[in-house]
Amino acid sequence: MVLEILYSMLGPWSRRLIPWMVAHPEVVAGIFLLWMAFLAAGKFQLRRIETYLSDWVVDHARLYQNEHRKIDADELYQQAADAMKLQLSHLAWFIPNKTEMYPVPASMASVQRKLNFSPDWVKQQLLKNQFLSE
């Protein structure tokens, strides 16, 4: 009965697919392992991007401090975004999408959506590393 409900929910193609999946669990497991490997690789690359951006912001904030310049989060954000555009192809090929269901190509727009990379993100990094006081 449960199988008939599943067939009716998934449509006519499920009458062939589900028995095939039951008969070949190693293929299904291989597909899921490959999918998980891609997602893990994407998360690793995203973490590498986040570390790069965080280190870049801290290093440049330190330079601003040494030059006795006022640290401006908006200016630092623009400079970090420009630096990120140059380094993105070296840091990552793909990252997980917002829902982390599938990988998407690593572009500046996808990184900004995923990390919420904005002047506020830069300001939070500066606050966290005690370059700014609230």
Task: Kindly report, residue by residue over 58-102, the tens digit of the pLDDT.
Answer: 999 998 888 888 888 899 999 999 999 999 989 999 999 888 888
* Amino acid occupying residue 35: W
C-alpha torsion sign, points 69, 70, 75, 77 = positive
Estimate the crossing angle of helix 119-128 against helix 25-66, to 10 degrees.
70
- pLDDT tops 70 at residue 50: yes
Q: Which pLDDT does position 133 carry in this prediction?
A: 67
Q: For the stretch 47-70, what's the b/e string if a residue is b when 16 or more beta carbons lie within 10 angstroms of its beta carbon?
A: eebbebbbebbeebbeebeeeeee
Q: Where are the beta strands (DSSP E) in the chain?
A: 94-96, 103-105
134: which DSSP letter? -
d(CA 107, CA 84): 10
* Mean pLDDT estimate for the chain: 89
Nearest Cα residue to 49 out of 81, 10, 4, 1: 81
pTM score, whole prediction: 0.80
The more confident residue out of 51 and 6 is 51
